[in-house]
């Protein structure tokens, strides 16, 4: 639903009533971007797209018909700005993300608002056709091969996280520590969740013990570190028709980092049915081979993909366990149960590399 309002008072009031900090600073920055000096500033429409993200529709006569407003933590905002203004342009991929039009920092330092060009509503999730999938795979391969061993990587590593094998080990250890704290807290799980923390603990302990085997596969097959998007769901991908053909672009780089290609590729592949995955993988394989890469054989790829997924799931254990200990959050045990379901589904997931 789109709410009509004016920039000077209505937008600020609406954001403040939604509990969004930094709205005054954002509105001042928008006035500068839109070159608004009139007293009314009317003709704006605000639509919430998801938590902390809004689409602002603008009356005619301004540089843009609509923009996307996104509230970020300061560290995440800095990474996203560097990505849009420095890292992707250095790779020759400056047009492969939404253009950052401006930023407004909350005067208390709690958050930063980014103002992005609006790429529309048709994500790859909305229009999941073969041509757009191929264009997306080609972009993912181009990002990975161009960024590998590129001089930009140390800068990315400085601000972003490591998403390789160490990501698995760190998450598993942190999750085990959080479950141990939960066990020592005296908090008893409700009857329907009896034994859940112990089952997760045993699963994670076994995963940590298996790390040396996985490390050997990483050594042999993971390839060079590269720049990773970190959250390659189809809702974060736009593919638009241009005069030169389809142009794929990626948004929501909040979880970007450095690590092996398999972290991104596993996320993307698991958004598709088992029957579709081998064809997508083959497209990626051919695309990176043109850049001189060699993709590991299926048996090793399965371990790389499985490691990336289990690392993400282990991370999902940490926060509900901590919330239970710190504030007895009612959502804690249901969320831990959900993570256990993810692990169980992964245990029986069909191969991503073979039909």
CA gap 344, 331 in Å, rounded: 20
- State the virtual CA torsion across 284, 124, 247, 85 in degrees, nearest 10: -90
The CATH topology of domain 130-347 is: Aminoglycoside 3'-phosphotransferase; Chain: A, domain 2 (3.90.1200)
CA gap 121, 157 in Å, rounded: 32
CA gap 235, 224 in Å, rounded: 27
Assigned token pair, 206: 């076994």
Band the pLDDT of 37: cuts 50, 70, 90: very low
Q: From 29, 118, 102, 113, select the one nearest 76 (Cα to Cα).
A: 113
Exposed e or buried b per residue across 47-85, where buried means at least 16 C-beta atoms within 10 angstroms of its C-beta: ebeeeebbbbbbeeeeebeebbbbbbeeebbebbbbbbe
pTM reported for the whole predicted model: 0.91
Band the pLDDT of 301: cuts 50, 70, 90: very high
Comparison of pLDDT for 179 and 30, the residue scoring more: 179
The CATH topology of domain 3-117 is: Phosphorylase Kinase; domain 1 (3.30.200)
Q: What is each CA distance from 135 to 223, 252, 282, in whole angstroms?
A: 23, 18, 14
Task: Report the pLDDT value the prediction gives residue 39, as an integer from 0 to 100.
Answer: 40
Helical ranges in 222-293 per DSSP H: 261-269, 277-289
> Average of pLDDT values for 50-63?
81
CA gap 14, 242 in Å, rounded: 36
Task: Report the pLDDT value the prediction gives residue 61, as an integer from 0 to 100.
Answer: 56
Task: Report the pLDDT value the prediction gives residue 337, as an integer from 0 to 100.
Answer: 98
Band the pLDDT of 19: cuts 50, 70, 90: confident
Comparison of pLDDT for 110 and 11, the residue scoring more: 110
Task: Report the pLDDT value the prediction gives residue 36, as an integer from 0 to 100.
Answer: 52
Task: Report the pLDDT value the prediction gives residue 350, as an integer from 0 to 100.
Answer: 75
Which residue spans of the chain are classified as CATH 3.90.1200.10?
A: 130-347
CA gap 239, 123 in Å, rounded: 7
Band the pLDDT of 210: cuts 50, 70, 90: very high
Band the pLDDT of 28: cuts 50, 70, 90: confident
Task: Report the pLDDT value the prediction gives residue 349, as an integer from 0 to 100.
Answer: 82
| Percent of the chain scoring above 70 in pLDDT | 93
Contacts of 278 (CB under 8 A, 6+ apart): 352, 353, 354, 355
Tens digit of pLDDT for each residue in 225-238? 999 999 999 999 99
CA gap 220, 228 in Å, rounded: 20
- Give every strand in the sheet of 161-162, ordered side by side: 161-162, 257-259, 226-228
Tens digit of pLDDT for each residue in 246-276? 999 999 999 999 999 999 999 999 999 999 9
> Average of pLDDT values for 317-342?
98
Tens digit of pLDDT for each residue in 154-164? 999 999 889 99
Band the pLDDT of 280: cuts 50, 70, 90: very high
CA gap 114, 53 in Å, rounded: 10
Q: What is each CA distance from 344 to 4, 246, 286, 288, 310, in whole angstroms?
A: 46, 38, 32, 32, 11
Query: At 13, phi and psi to the nearest 5?
Result: -65, -40
Exposed e or buried b per residue across 309-334, where buried means at least 16 C-beta atoms within 10 angstroms of its C-beta: bbbbbbbbbbbbbbbbbeeebeebbe
Question: CB of 16 within 8 A of CB of 26?
Answer: no
Task: Report the pLDDT value the prediction gives residue 328, as an integer from 0 to 100.
Answer: 97
Which residue spans of the chain are classified as CATH 3.30.200?
A: 3-117
Band the pLDDT of 45: cuts 50, 70, 90: confident
CA gap 123, 132 in Å, rounded: 10
| Percent of the chain scoring above 90 in pLDDT | 79
């Amino acid at each position: 639903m789109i709410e009509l309002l004016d920039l000077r008072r209505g937008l600020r009031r609406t954001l403040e009533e939604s509990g969004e900090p930094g709205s005054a600073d954002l509105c001042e920055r928008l006035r500068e971007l839109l070159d608004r000096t009139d007293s009314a500033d009317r003709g704006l429409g605000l639509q919430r797209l998801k938590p902390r993200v809004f689409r602002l529709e603008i009356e005619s006569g301004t540089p843009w018909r609509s923009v996307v407003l996104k509230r970020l933590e300061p560290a995440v905002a800095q990474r996203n700005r560097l990505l849009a203004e420095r890292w992707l342009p250095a790779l020759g991929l400056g047009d492969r993300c939404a253009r950052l039009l401006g930023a407004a920092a909350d005067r208390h330092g709690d958050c930063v608002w980014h103002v992005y060009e609006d790429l529309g509503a048709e994500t790859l999730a909305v229009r999941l056709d073969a041509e757009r999938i191929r264009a997306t795979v080609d972009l993912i391969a181009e990002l990975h091969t161009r960024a590998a061993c590129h001089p930009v990587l140390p800068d990315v590593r400085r601000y972003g996280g490591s998403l390789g094998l160490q990501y698995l080990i760190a998450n598993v250890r942190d999750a085990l520590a959080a479950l141990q704290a939960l066990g020592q807290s005296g908090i008893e799980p409700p009857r329907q969740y009896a034994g859940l923390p112990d089952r997760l603990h045993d699963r994670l302990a076994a995963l940590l013990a298996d790390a040396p085997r996985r490390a050997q596969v990483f050594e042999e097959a993971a390839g060079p570190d590269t720049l990773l998007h970190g959250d390659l769901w189809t809702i974060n991908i736009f593919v638009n028709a241009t005069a030169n053909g389809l142009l794929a672009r990626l948004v929501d780089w909040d979880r970007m980092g450095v690590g092996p290609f398999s972290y991104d590729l596993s996320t993307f592949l698991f958004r598709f049915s088992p029957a579709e995955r081998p064809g997508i993988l083959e497209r990626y394989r051919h695309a990176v081979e043109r850049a001189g890469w060699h993709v590991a054989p299926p048996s090793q790829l399965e371990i790389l993909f499985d490691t990336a997924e289990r690392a993400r799931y282990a991370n999902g254990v940490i926060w509900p366990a901590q919330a239970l200990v710190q504030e007895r959050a009612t959502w804690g045990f249901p969320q831990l149960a959900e993570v256990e379901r993810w692990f169980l589904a992964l245990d029986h997931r069909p191969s991503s590399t073979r039909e």
